Amino acid sequence: MRMNLDGQLALVAGVADDQGFGWSIAKALHAAGAKVILACWPPAMGILTKSLDRGKLDMTLPGLSEERTEFKIEKIYALDAVYDSMDFVPEDIRTSKRYQDVGDFTIQGLKKRIKEDFGDGALTIAVHSLANGPEVQKPLLETSREGYLAANSASSYSFVSMVREFSPIMRKNGSFLCLSYLASEKVIPGYGGGMSSAKAALESDTRVLAYEAGQEYGHRVNSISAGALASRAARSIGEINKMIDFGAKRAPLKSALAPKEVGSAAAFLCSDLASGITGINLYVDKGMHAMGLCPEGGL
């Protein structure tokens, strides 16, 4: 039995460099046989395309396949997942330099472009690997209504919108995946601004979407609760190194989490090997979630 994604088209939304989970997931999906398209937040598009042009990104593939050794990206699209359609985009964003010349960067725009470029029913996998909480450094008690709603709009409603919009253009029995974090269910000081609430919503929505998209389309919807990683987004939290050190000292498995471990778990969940799995939250965190009391204190 082999993980085989030959003939599949996978979208990974939320990639701007090779440091985060999205990149590792995209590489694992490609290594297993899928064609991969990426969606990148318009303000980060320049970083991604320049790094690719200059050969600065790690294109080596994990050893899931002997035939494929280098990561090939079919196409990169702009996506701001806070907007469902251009009707909702405020004037200052529309006219901002970073949003001009990238085409329709909304979720519906991306759907239309994928359909035009690859055909109706070509997409089989969609991964949501994005989050944004403008007040993430503030404790919940100090978070404004605006900051809280912005975190939930970018980090959880965006997944609901993606599943709604992409489901009809996806081949039957497709697979959706999103990325969550332990802060959804345990208190993680420093993970503020409503981001913990956004992750709790994301996990709950995963279950409801699994039911609804499963009934209507046969699609599967799952989440991965990943351990801490010093990605670009996580570095903006400020406390990320503390979270990584805490896990390294106290998790059942002592080695630091490698993003490729999340990549291979994601490829498995999106493959036929997981055809009976939907509505789950899979922990890929070296076992950190299982701890109640740690020998060195904490938790």
Query: Which residues does the annotation mark as catalytic?
Result: 156, 199
Candidate ranges 19-27, 114-122, 165-173, 211-219; the one touching ligand NAD (CB under 6 A):
19-27
If the CB atoms of residues 59 and 217 are measured against ligand NAD, the closer one turns out to be: 59
User: Is there binding between residue 77 and ligand NAD (CB under 6 A)?
Assistant: no
- Cβ-based neighbours of 218, under 8 Å, separated by 6 or more: 172, 173, 174
Candidate ranges 49-57, 106-114, 130-138, 265-273; the one touching ligand NAD (CB under 6 A):
130-138
User: Is there binding between residue 16 and ligand NAD (CB under 6 A)?
Assistant: yes
User: Is there binding between residue 186 and ligand NAD (CB under 6 A)?
Assistant: no
If the CB atoms of residues 3 and 130 are measured against ligand NAD, the closer one turns out to be: 130
Q: Could you say which of 3, 5, 12, 15 contacts ligand NAD (CB under 6 A)?
A: 15
Candidate ranges 91-99, 126-134, 213-221, 291-299; the one touching ligand NAD (CB under 6 A):
126-134
- Residue 256's Cβ-side half-sphere holds a number of Cα atoms within 13 Å equal to 11
User: Is there binding between residue 157 and ligand NAD (CB under 6 A)?
Assistant: no
User: Is there binding between residue 194 and ligand NAD (CB under 6 A)?
Assistant: no
User: Is there binding between residue 14 and ligand NAD (CB under 6 A)?
Assistant: yes
Single out the residue of 177, 135, 133 nearest to residue 153, CA to CA.
133
- In the chain, what's the furthest Cα-to-Cα distance? 56
If the CB atoms of residues 3 and 257 are measured against ligand NAD, the closer one turns out to be: 257
How far is 161 from 108, CA to CA, in rounded Å? 9
**Cβ(184)–Cβ(127) under 8 Å?**
no
Q: Could you say which of 8, 106, 124, 129 contacts ligand NAD (CB under 6 A)?
A: 129
Q: Could you say which of 3, 34, 81, 177 contacts ligand NAD (CB under 6 A)?
A: 81
Single out the residue of 36, 67, 34, 71 nearest to residue 52, CA to CA.
71
Q: Could you say which of 131, 136, 213, 288 contacts ligand NAD (CB under 6 A)?
A: 131
Q: What is the DSSP string of 135-153?
A: TTTS-GGG--HHHHHHHHI
Paired with 12 in beta bridges are 38, 127
User: Is there binding between residue 247 and ligand NAD (CB under 6 A)?
Assistant: no
**Cβ(35)–Cβ(41) under 8 Å?**
no
Q: Which two tokens stand for residue 129?
A: 């690997």
Q: Is 65 exposed, middle or buried (0-12, 13-18, 19+ CB in 10 A)?
A: middle
How many residues make contact with ligand NAD (CB under 6 A)?
27
User: Is there binding between residue 232 and ligand NAD (CB under 6 A)?
Assistant: yes
DSSP state of 275: T
User: Is there binding between residue 282 and ligand NAD (CB under 6 A)?
Assistant: no
Q: Which two tokens stand for residue 33?
A: 């046989």
- Contacts with ligand NAD, residue ranges (CB under 6 A): 14-16, 19-22, 41, 44, 79-82, 129-132, 154, 179, 181, 226, 228-229, 231-234
